[in-house]
Structure 1
């Protein structure tokens, strides 16, 4: 590989890492500066660098910007309407007594598809605390299972912004990425549960007193409940922990108060409870429409014998293609969220305020995503991507592991999984065509690599460990360990996926 182009690539990635870690600039500005540095060092014309940045930024947001905004808006309505809470309760009832970690991991996986990890964990953590209080132990295992369940879908399943951005940058089929990400999640969830059940009991006595008191209502030593054996330092549990008197584990669980979000209803009306089935519609229907679009297109391709290359859709697939377009599907989801989940008396200005809050939270993600697309365009136009492809083709390293390795390094260096997968996708984009990497495999490699070793430079690390009450080495053993376990578990899955998709 030409030393100048290699230097351009290395300096571009180094600029992102150093600026995010060592300066007050955020990832958006860091990515744009990296574009400039990469273009200049590679020898690209100065005016051409700016053209590449604007072209890449516009093309990327043109395809996925609307989808990100709509996905965040739906998540906000699920939060304020109580639908997320209802889904959590339904999962707990479905899994039953003794399988609480499975329930919490599954709840986390579901909720984190439309809701950001940080806010989703804050919403759902009281549920874990209430269950631990009823069980009289096992809080750490429940908290870790919840948090890492959220990590799985947050990293693997669109319309979460990170994998959605990687999908757009790499040009992968969104429906296939959703299906594959869900398969990865289902396979990796047992890893989450096994690690949480193994390490949780050993850390139960490391929970700081303030959190222990908030969870169990006392500073007395608490056992590990139904999580199995372990090193809980006491066996009897707190004397004032409430016990379930009617056999219903959910009797003491209360996580959502509609008045906190919706305000008090008008005279003569009352808050209505959003059931789990109804609450799932704004999320499930768009996902089903997107997947149906992928399935019908695949069937049509097979019937036409056009499994690769140009494809002219048949007339019968047009309705599926329209309704299954991510923009149309999520518009339907947003309408369902507002008119099915929220009570009729909810003021228009309040709903619009929630959408404004969602737009504000999505704004930086949109900018980072667009800047990631700009970085990828600069790599392509400067020739760095072609040179990197040629260099990798001459090595024995499986090419589909390149985005995995890049995402891993960037995640450890700067902490943000979203930035890591967008950076890896941007760097990898030129390789997808040149080296024949399947775009879906490349996306999953980027997203899987970005799950590694969440620690001090990751904001979600602090959310989980503070709510769980773990500090120092206990926090690293619990949270950093469980995220690294699912990262390692994804490696053999990538090999299998590459064999299937290759």
Structure 2
């Protein structure tokens, strides 16, 4: 979706954005208006206030809504179905029991986080989270307490990998724009992601945010049925089903990265097949079919399986709609020219290059929600300045990390990930702000501090 020529100056656009976010928070938190309705209402009002022609407002809003759903709905729907089958066949219980036996109760959050870091290398945030939902809930139910003690380390791990490690689209695009080596960005990014997760996610969770009590509510996934131990699948079987989409997606992202680098031909029959089956929705569909015909068909009739999968979709209707409406809000903010106004206002402040990268990405992230958009926009804005400054190869990687750090902090109501995490784990908006928003901020700030260290070394 293109950006229109701004009708107002930068100051007015910034004021409109600030008022829109404030009104949205009041509608949801104070007036208790349903988040979906509030987001649609504020999106339309913001578009009109920003000078979008009234006749174009519905078209622009629906396009942003549909664009978000196109990337989220398939992932959420297929992922929840896989999670449902793992739950009702006892697969999630097997995974939870294995984690418990190998890591123990006190290390369960650590085990979930480490597994998410590994799985998060090839898989996107949304897909990784929905695949891990049954595991998180199973471990949380076993030990009790707040679900956040187990949910936040896993979700934070996926967020860290998605933000700064190629072959995820944001860091790949940013590295390309700035002329940084994708291979070096990958090597440094993995190390930084692990360190940032330990400091900014795991430590913060076990000492603070995990103690915020949120009851365990796994109604999104399960009807609460227990599976006899003798009827549960083998651990290797369950792990294979989880690894299948990850392997397919990993192959896709590696091949796509190699094509971007021109290391392999732009076209090729076998490569095209792997790229196709490694598309996240296709990979999840394949995993769902494998789970259906190797796990569920042995334990349930075809009619029961159909009913189970159908029932799995019902609870996520609100999640999908709210996520789409959040994308609508972010899309309206982008289309109105607020992002460009922010970039133009900050580019000439005279800050050090790495600080400017963090500040611009942070404000773009807060204004329009999308971490990927903040990453790519900031990188494009700073590309000319990077050429002029001629930093070292390692310093270019540090710039990518700084931009990613700014694009991670302060996740709030215009970020689809904010709504996914909040609704999946049964949090209201206020609780999501004081937990997930804080966690994303501590993660992003930690990444930025580490990026400053890389910049100094380089």
TM range (shorter): 0.5 to 0.7
- Number of the residue aligned with 2:122: none
Instruction: Determine helix, strand or coil for the equivalent of 2:225.
Output: helix
Q: 1:377 to 1:109 in 2, by over 3 A?
A: same
- Number of the residue aligned with 1:423: 369
Q: Tell me whether 1:261 sits opposite 2:215 in the alignment.
A: no
Q: TM-score, normalised by structure 1?
A: 0.61
- Number of the residue aligned with 1:387: 341
- Number of the residue aligned with 1:286: 245
- Number of the residue aligned with 2:108: 103
Count matched residues. Answer: 386
Q: 1:337 to 1:100 in 2, by over 3 A?
A: same
Deviation at residue 317 of structure 1 after TM alignment: 2.1
**Larger radius of gyration between Structure 1 and Structure 2:** 1
Instruction: Determine helix, strand or coil for the equivalent of 1:435.
Output: helix
Aligned-partner Cα distance in 2 for 1:350–1:439: 49
Aligned-partner Cα distance in 2 for 1:180–1:152: 19
Q: 1:92 to 1:178 in 2, by over 3 A?
A: farther
- Number of the residue aligned with 2:65: 57
Deviation at residue 275 of structure 1 after TM alignment: 2.1
Q: 1:393 to 1:27 in 2, by over 3 A?
A: farther
Q: Tell me whether 1:24 sits opposite 2:32 in the alignment.
A: yes
- Number of the residue aligned with 1:492: 446
Deviation at residue 58 of structure 1 after TM alignment: 2.0
Q: Is the 8 A contact 1:104 1:128 kept in 2?
A: no
- RMSD after superposition: 5.0
Match of 1:70 among 72, 78, 91: 78
Deviation at residue 372 of structure 1 after TM alignment: 2.8
Deviation at residue 22 of structure 1 after TM alignment: 1.6
Q: Is the 8 A contact 1:20 1:30 kept in 2?
A: yes
Q: Tell me whether 1:89 sits opposite 2:48 in the alignment.
A: no
Match of 1:450 among 411, 416, 419: 411
Q: Is the 8 A contact 2:100 2:108 kept in 1?
A: yes
Aligned-partner Cα distance in 2 for 1:282–1:39: 44
Deviation at residue 432 of structure 1 after TM alignment: 4.8
Q: Tell me whether 1:323 sits opposite 2:277 in the alignment.
A: yes
- Number of the residue aligned with 2:42: 34
Aligned-partner Cα distance in 2 for 1:441–1:369: 27
Q: Deviations over 1:120-165 (max 9, x none)?
A: 6553234225xxxxxxxxx89xx8753432442465567xxxxxxx
Structure 1 stretch displaced more, 390-399 or 20-29: 390-399
Q: Is the 8 A contact 2:249 2:278 kept in 1?
A: yes
- Listed as ranges, the gaps of 5+ residues in structure 1 are 130-138, 159-165, 212-257, 265-269, 306-310, 411-421, 464-474
Deviation at residue 94 of structure 1 after TM alignment: 3.1
Q: Deviations over 1:193-252 (max 9, x none)?
A: 65677689xx9xxx9xxx9xxxxxxxxxxxxxxxxxxxxxxxxxxxxxxxxxxxxxxxxx
- Number of the residue aligned with 1:398: 356
Deviation at residue 293 of structure 1 after TM alignment: 1.0
- Number of the residue aligned with 1:127: 142
Q: Is the 8 A contact 1:117 1:154 kept in 2?
A: no
Aligned-partner Cα distance in 2 for 1:440–1:65: 29
- Listed as ranges, the gaps of 5+ residues in structure 2 are 1-8, 117-126, 163-167, 176-182, 216-221, 384-398, 413-417
Match of 2:315 among 353, 358, 361: 361
Q: 1:334 to 1:273 in 2, by over 3 A?
A: same
Deviation at residue 289 of structure 1 after TM alignment: 1.1
Q: 1:72 to 1:184 in 2, by over 3 A?
A: farther
Q: Deviations over 1:321-354 (max 9, x none)?
A: 1111111101011112222222524022332233
Q: Deviations over 1:274-323 (max 9, x none)?
A: 22221122321111211211111222333459xxxxx9444442122111
Aligned-partner Cα distance in 2 for 1:483–1:337: 34
Aligned-partner Cα distance in 2 for 1:10–1:435: 23
